[in-house]
Amino acid sequence: MHTLEQLRTGLLNGATDIRIHEQLTEFPVEIFKLADSLQLLDLSQNQLSTLPAEFACLTELKILFMSDNLFDHLPDVLGQCPKLEMIGFKSNQIKTVSESSIPPQCRWLILTNNRINELPQSLGSCRRLQKLALAGNQITHLPASMSQCTELQLARLSANQLTEIPEFLLNLPKLSWLALAGNPCTQTGAVNSVLPEVERSALRLGHVLGQGASGVIYQGVWQQQDNSMDVAIKLFKGEVTSDGYPSDELAACIQAGEHPNLISTLASIKANNQAEQDSEQAGVILRLVPANYYNLGLPPSLVTCTRDTFAPDIKLSQKQVRHLIRQAVDVINHLHQQGLTHGDIYAHNMLINQDHELMLGDMGAATPLARFSNEHAAAMQAIEVRALGCVMDDLLSVCNDSDAELLAIRDACWQVPLSARPSVSELVKQLALLD
């Protein structure tokens, strides 16, 4: 973290990264003195609403984060930045995105939780676009030009106003992680829950186990009438997250049901009052995963964009990789049979123990398939097959042994057109035949 004072006194001259979060109301023009060196600029959590026209002089800038500011439009000047490829304007007040505001070399566009109702046709010119996060807007349709975004791998379109899913979206060749819940075209009404609803007063929170896009997970105690139970408690962060609405995540947890490789949901948490209920500040009670489980992978980095990273010391044998993949495929097959796609099939959402037993979590990006035609539901599932191929590829990258058979299955998962890919149920059978 840096300060405005450091910038103004020249202490940051020659810097490649600058991060200032000081409730700034005006763009600090001293940044332009760093035009020859600055590659990453993070001015999130300020009070900015405009960028000066001179912003385009930042010719080396590759990454710009402006989340939690006051912009009501995506600045046009961004389209003039020759190397800018990662743009983050989450949680502003953006209503309009003009045809000239997105640079064609953009790889990563984050506009979550704004007020956008229409995207520009120029988005199709972003042929390198890999990651598109638009959850929590008011988008009614996608521009047809997006069919040209053939490098797109991750799309978060939950919590919008989409009335139909365009055919081209479900046929993008590299799309692997897609979230669509919370749109008129996917809403299925209330899910009949067999889970108990628990008052917050019956819960005691302990230490934080972890957190994701939609909430914070605590170790806790569920006090029942005759005894108490150690559990994990996930409290949702707010009305909308980068994955979508917490209420859709809760519905997905209920619909997912039970599976040996799925972190099961035990109960939903009733909000204490109407204000909490209205803002969806509730949560779920999850089965507590034993303490000897740990994350299989780490989230993507700014460099890898959509692909997981791993601890430098992790090494797996062929036998261990195959065991992990079988479990991952089996639990995704279960979710598909329940009428859900997971939307976030990553090693970083999987917990394993020393015996490489696997537990999948995080249903925040799940999409219910009840409103989809058979053809579109099959396409949604085929997109997940590609994600499973990515997990195979990632685990093979940290495997001590070569595995031609698993590589062949990975390649099958990546086939185009999507109809050429094996179904998840077919993957279960293929993996069972491996030694």
Q: Tally Cβ neighbours within 10 Å of residue 362.
A: 24
Phi and psi angles of residue 87, each rounded to the nearest 5 degrees, phi first: -130, 125
The C-alpha atoms of residue 294 and residue 359 are separated, in whole angstroms, by: 10
Q: Which residues contact 112 (CB under 8 A, 6 or more apart)?
A: 90, 91, 133, 134, 135, 136, 137, 156, 240, 241, 242
Q: Can you say whether the dihedral through the CA atoms of 275, 277, 278, 281 is positive or negative?
A: positive
Beta carbons of 116 and 93 less than 8 angstroms apart: no
Structure-block tokens of residue 321: 């990789």
Beta carbons of 100 and 78 less than 8 angstroms apart: no
Measured CA distances, 179 to 156, 244, 389 (Å): 5, 8, 18
Q: Which residues share a beta bridge with 358?
A: 352
pLDDT, position 279: 44
Topology annotation, domain 294-432 = Transferase(Phosphotransferase); domain 1 (1.10.510)
Which among 170, 179, 190, 95 has a CA at the least distance from the CA of 131? 179
Q: What is the pTM of this model?
A: 0.95
Q: Where are the domains of the chain?
A: 4-152, 197-287, 294-432
CATH class of 4-152: alpha beta
Alpha-carbon Rg for the chain in angstroms: 22
Beta carbons of 156 and 243 less than 8 angstroms apart: yes
pLDDT, position 281: 57
Fill in the DSSP letter of residue 290. P
The C-alpha atoms of residue 128 and residue 149 are separated, in whole angstroms, by: 7
Q: Tally Cβ neighbours within 10 Å of residue 226.
A: 4
pLDDT, position 158: 98
Structure-block tokens of residue 213: 């896009």
The gap from C-alpha 74 to its chain's centroid, in whole angstroms, comes to 22
pLDDT, position 194: 77
Measured CA distances, 159 to 9, 65, 246, 249 (Å): 44, 22, 10, 11
Q: What is the three-class DSSP state of 358?
A: strand
pLDDT, position 278: 46
Type of residue numbered 201: S
Beta carbons of 7 and 28 less than 8 angstroms apart: yes
Q: What is the three-class DSSP state of 415?
A: coil
Q: Give per-residue pLDDT as tens, 158-203.
A: 999 999 999 999 999 999 999 999 999 998 876 667 788 999 999 9
Residues 197-287: name the CATH superfamily: Phosphorylase Kinase; domain 1 (3.30.200.20)
Triad 347, 348, 354: Cα angle to 5°: 75
pLDDT, position 237: 80
Type of residue numbered 333: N
Structure-block tokens of residue 426: 């077919």
Measured CA distances, 268 to 202, 281, 284, 362, 414 (Å): 12, 12, 4, 15, 37
Place of tokens 């743009």: 87
pLDDT, position 273: 56
Triad 186, 413, 342: Cα angle to 5°: 30
Name the stretches of the chain with pLDDT < 50: 276, 278-280
pLDDT, position 61: 99
For residue 229, give the H/E element and its range.
Answer: strand 228-236
Domains 197-287 and 294-432 share a fold: no
The gap between the terminal CA atoms of the chain, to the nearest Å, is 51
Bridge-based pairing state of the strands 228-236 and 215-223: antiparallel
Fill in the DSSP letter of residue 203. E
Q: Which residues share a beta bridge with 347?
A: none
The C-alpha atoms of residue 177 and residue 247 are separated, in whole angstroms, by: 20
